[in-house]
Structure 1
Amino acid sequence: MRVTYQPYFLLLLPLLIGVCILGYGVAQEDFTWIWGAYSLSFGAYVLILLLATDAEMPVWLSGAFCLRLALLFGLPTLSDDIYRFIWDGHLLQQGINPFDQLPGYYLQAGQQVAGLDQVLYDQLNSPGYFTVYPPIAQASFALAAWLSPTSWWGFSLVLKTLILLIEVGNAWLLVSLLRMFRMPIRNSLLYLLNPLIIVELTGNLHYEAVMIFFLLLAFWLLVRMKGILPAALAFAASIAAKLLPLMFLPFFIKRLGWKKAVLFFALLGVGTFLLFLPLFNEAFLGSMSSSLDL
């Protein structure tokens, strides 16, 4: 279907400007700039939500992709979590479980690890805590450290590229689920053009993007395929990216009924255990539980 140009397509421009300011031009303490950029972005975002139609979705989906692509090439500015990602990635590259020791241990004489030094340590926001990142996140850190062992910028680029691809999957799953439930597909713009989501997930590398992908995939498999096993495995992967999906488990009882829900939970437990198994050792449970205080 050919899309007719509408003047309000230009609302993507202030949205882009605001997102780029937040992704490249501000620090955490620049409150005025942050407030102004978010005000500009959300103003454009709200107008788009009011004006957009389903027929124009190719334009808005392309815009959502370009907004994320625009943030690909800078280090996160509003979050310092990436430095823990780099730290964990280098440990995994050396075959060391990141849950084994606190970061300071690897600065001691005789315990040094390539890529870990005082400069990186000083960037960590919680050096007195063990890492909190589950296995799928850790696997991506290891991949980024392998592809870019010496460059923080390169490490960031690898992870942002992964998040960008994941967000493409999120867009497809959202649109597909809305069609299944016969809802307006423009409702997906609530997520896809939300400047907070764009900046925090793609720009600042928060792993909710990966969690959301596997969570949506679990719902899609459950609705489209009627498959409890693949849905349970997808949900397990969501937990292995971020622990938050655990709070949604009670809703599956209503959806599936008790008999199928018990089977779903059993398969989910097995899948989650297998995904966490590579990191599991004597130190893992204590380290993870102590860090959840964060």
Structure 2
Amino acid sequence: MLFNPALLKLYKTPLLLVLASALFYTVFAYDLVRTDYVKLVSIYAALFFLFYKLVQIFKSNFKALTYIAFGFRAIFILAIPNLSQDFYRFIWDGRLILEGFNPYLYTVDAFTNNAQFPVSQAQELREGMGNLNASHFTNYPPINQLCFVIAGLFAGKSILGSVVVMRLLIIAADFGTLHFGKKLLEELRLPAYNIFWYVLNPFIIIELTGNLHFEGVMIFFLVWSLYLLHCGKWQWAAMVFAVSISTKLIPLIFLPLFFQWFITTRTTKQSDTIGKVASSSLTPSNKAIKGIIKLISFYSIVIITTILLFAPFYSSAFLNNYTQTVALWFKNFEFNASLYYIAREIGYSFRDRNEIAVIGKVIPYIIIVFVLIITFFRRNKTTLQLITAMLLVLTFYYFTATTIHPWYIATLVILSVFTKYKFPLVWSFVIILSYLSYLNINKADKSENLWIIALEYIIVYGVFIWEVFIKKAPKMEASI
């Protein structure tokens, strides 16, 4: 019997939630302008509520949640990103490589200002990406560039075709994250459905699948690497970790945190849920020496693999251009920051000018000190402890950074599913406020609305402080 009224009645509420979500995603993808702030926030809030209810209802049905999560992604297949224009630069870089140019050696404006159009639809791409993107050298690492090249190969001269190809790559990466995330959760004896706090999250679907940010690809390799590391396959883990770095540089900040994990030598797979490490007949000193050798080998594999992946683009000009471009995120750009804006206001009160150049030089040293403190003075001996340390380090970095674009916190969301902390999930909800930051009463005022940013961070810091410093921690790492 094709139609079963009893079955329909039983699943009426879940079906309505799925259909409502699909409708909202369709409107978001094809009928939303970024400056329509009321519509933007309303749809996003509705999607977040529906997401929470769907995970609650289907948490015992992994297959259903999988179909739903990727069904929602499929809605975006033919949509042009409406919250970000970065994809125009992605297409430019991919086509430039196919024309035989090194994308790290030329700005877009270096061509177009001289009436040179090395790629098809050059003027349209230049107009789409905007002045800021066109005036700087590319900062996307080689695996990211490979994705752009694949889009250029399969889409030809079609901008929409390039968008579709890149979107399929990001969706494929999400499948990988789902697969290895589930396996890692099972190894850690945590609920497998925890992975859907990432995979089904509207923030992830909209920012990664919808707006084509390749954090999703980086996260896939990061999760895969952590799974391999947990299983004792540290050599392969190092290679995959290097691929993650070569997609987005952010995993570099995690490298010191592996110190204790390797020094605590394992002879069999560890049992993180009870915090015990397998015993060994080796003496403590021999264990430490063996661990140090493994640690050095791990770092060596990561460094060598990363260098090899960057090697095809290497030149002295590349090194200079790339480091200068990365430095811009510390010394020039500012958006949706928190502690930095407080420091900036203090600078204004003393010297009546923006001290970003000075503050930007200090921030990296503060971050390095914090990373070293977490590395040597916090227990990071098990996989759960290691992932929690990664979460705390990256959170501190984002709290002190001068620029926090919404898609940056995707890495916090995936790390949180393996820990007891929920503040990244809360941040993935309130991050939508960053799109309202230029909403000023005076339309001529192009500066950020600090009241809106303050609201975002009051919520995030409130939950963070409650969870990390006030709430009594459970004896074991629990599910979210």
Q: TM-score range by the shorter chain?
A: over 0.9
Q: 1:264 aligns with which of 298, 304, 311?
A: 298
**Corresponding residue for 2:317?**
283
**Corresponding residue for 2:19?**
13
Distance (Å, rounded) in 1 between the aligned partners of 2:122 and 2:58 = 50
How far did 1:289 drift? 1.7
1:254 paired with 2:288, answer: no
**Corresponding residue for 1:220?**
227
**Corresponding residue for 1:103?**
108
Task: Give the 3-state SS of the residue equivalent to 2:316 in structure 1.
Answer: coil
**Corresponding residue for 1:39?**
45
Distance (Å, rounded) in 1 between the aligned partners of 2:215 and 2:136 = 21
Distance (Å, rounded) in 2 between the aligned partners of 1:15 and 1:283 = 48
1:151 paired with 2:130, answer: no
User: Which structure 2 residues correspond to residues 179-258 of structure 1 after superposition, within 5 A?
Assistant: 179-224=186-231, 226-257=232-263
How far did 1:264 drift? 0.9
Amino acid at match of 1:43: F
**Corresponding residue for 1:117?**
122
Amino acid at match of 1:189: F
% identical equivalent positions: 33
Q: 1:88 aligns with which of 86, 93, 114?
A: 93
Structure having greater relative contact order (Cα 8 Å, sep ≥ 6): 1
- Is 2:218–2:248's contact at 8 Å kept on the other side of the alignment? yes
Amino acid at match of 1:266: S
CA RMSD of aligned residues (A): 1.7
How far did 1:150 drift? 1.1
C-alpha deviations, 1:190-240, integer Å up to 9, x for none?
A: 00110010011111110011000100110111122x122110000000011
- Give the total of aligned pairs: 289
1:177 paired with 2:184, answer: yes
Structure 2, unmatched stretches of 5+, are 1-6, 264-290, 330-480
**Corresponding residue for 2:409?**
none
Task: Give the 3-state SS of the residue equivalent to 1:73 in structure 2.
Answer: coil
Q: TM-score, normalised by structure 1?
A: 0.93
- Is 1:15–1:42's contact at 8 Å kept on the other side of the alignment? no
Distance (Å, rounded) in 1 between the aligned partners of 2:53 and 2:117 = 53
Distance (Å, rounded) in 2 between the aligned partners of 1:87 and 1:114 = 7
C-alpha deviations, 1:56-81, integer Å up to 9, x for none?
A: 11111111111111111111111101
Distance (Å, rounded) in 2 between the aligned partners of 1:274 and 1:130 = 21
Distance (Å, rounded) in 1 between the aligned partners of 2:58 and 2:261 = 32
Distance (Å, rounded) in 2 between the aligned partners of 1:48 and 1:61 = 11
Task: Give the 3-state SS of the residue equivalent to 1:79 in structure 2.
Answer: coil
Whose radius of gyration is greater, 1 or 2? 2
Distance (Å, rounded) in 1 between the aligned partners of 2:180 and 2:77 = 22
